[in-house]
């Protein structure tokens, strides 16, 4: 499942910049001056940095999210997932994705969330969470389409962001207990949906019912001229 970049030389630039920016972002935030400082420290040409990060510092946040998603998928490949139930799989993926950030980068992650919330940032925490949730469902070989495809990703991205919010406050035990409760709620909801789908098969066709209400049982509908 390892992701391969079509432009590895640009990823190499991002990879070099990220540790330096992470160190300063925890104190100064994800700002263009922080990126410029890292560029200067690495003796990189501003032009090559602009080529690798055309959207500026927010593009580096996107890159960080992408490599954290990949770390989650790498851990998934090494785990004995065949023995897991769906609840355990979802819990494992969300927890692993958050742990990929690293406790030492907790403050930098908080600052990243604040940066993504700014108008015109060019990225959003919602989009990144959706991408992570999509990667999780794909890892679990989710076959859903249409309505279920979207609702599952919306729900799991909500679980991820809400658990991340607890984790960012520094209490990991509380975060994982919160995650367990949220996943439990999701499983109850999925069970409710499955039950509802099963019951709905025996429900009357509303179109037929409306036709009978309009024309009467056993009465022929008016013929079109």
The total number of structural domains that make up the chain: 1
pLDDT score for 212: 55
pLDDT score for 121: 74
Q: Is 210 exposed, middle or buried (0-12, 13-18, 19+ CB in 10 A)?
A: exposed
pLDDT score for 4: 40
Is 215 domain-assigned? no
pLDDT score for 144: 87
Is 171 domain-assigned? yes
pTM for this predicted structure: 0.81
Is 157 domain-assigned? yes
Is 119 domain-assigned? yes
Is 212 domain-assigned? no
- State the CATH number of the domain containing residue 153: 1.10.357
Contact criterion met (CB below 8 Å) for 129 and 157:
yes
The residue range of the domain holding 125 is: 8-203
Q: Is 82 exposed, middle or buried (0-12, 13-18, 19+ CB in 10 A)?
A: exposed
Spatial distance between the Cα atoms of 172 and 178, rounded to a whole number of angstroms: 10
DSSP 71-136: HHHHHHHHS-GGG--HHHHHHHHHHHHHHTT-GGGHHHHHHHHHHHTSTT-S--HHHHHHHHHHHH
Spatial distance between the Cα atoms of 24 and 17, rounded to a whole number of angstroms: 11
Averaged over successive runs of 10 residues, the pLDDT of the chain (225 residues) comes to 62 97 97 98 97 96 97 97 94 98 97 91 86 97 89 94 94 95 82 50 51 54 51
Is 114 domain-assigned? yes
């Amino acid at each position: 499942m390892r992701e391969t970049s079509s432009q590895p030389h640009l990823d190499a630039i991002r990879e070099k910049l990220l540790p330096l920016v992470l160190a300063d972002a925890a104190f100064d935030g994800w700002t263009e001056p922080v990126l410029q400082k890292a560029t200067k420290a690495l003796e990189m040409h501003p032009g090559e940095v602009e080529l690798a990060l055309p959207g500026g510092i927010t593009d580096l946040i996107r890159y960080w999210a992408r490599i954290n998603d990949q770390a989650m998928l790498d851990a998934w490949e090494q785990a004995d997932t065949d023995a897991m139930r769906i609840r355990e799989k979802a819990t494992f993926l969300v927890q692993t994705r958050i742990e990929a950030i690293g406790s030492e980068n907790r403050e930098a992650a908080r600052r990243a969330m604040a940066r993504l919330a700014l108008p015109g940032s060019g990225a959003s925490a919602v989009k990144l969470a959706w991408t992570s949730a999509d990667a999780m469902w794909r890892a679990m070989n989710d076959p859903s389409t249409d309505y279920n495809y979207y609702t599952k990703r919306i729900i799991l991205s909500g679980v991820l962001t809400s658990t991340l919010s607890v984790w960012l406050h520094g209490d990991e035990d509380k975060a994982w207990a919160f995650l367990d409760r949220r996943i439990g709620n999701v499983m109850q909801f999925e069970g409710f949906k499955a039950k509802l789908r099963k019951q709905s098969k025996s429900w009357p066709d509303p179109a037929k019912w409306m036709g009978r209400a309009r024309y009467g049982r056993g009465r022929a509908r008016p013929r079109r001229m």
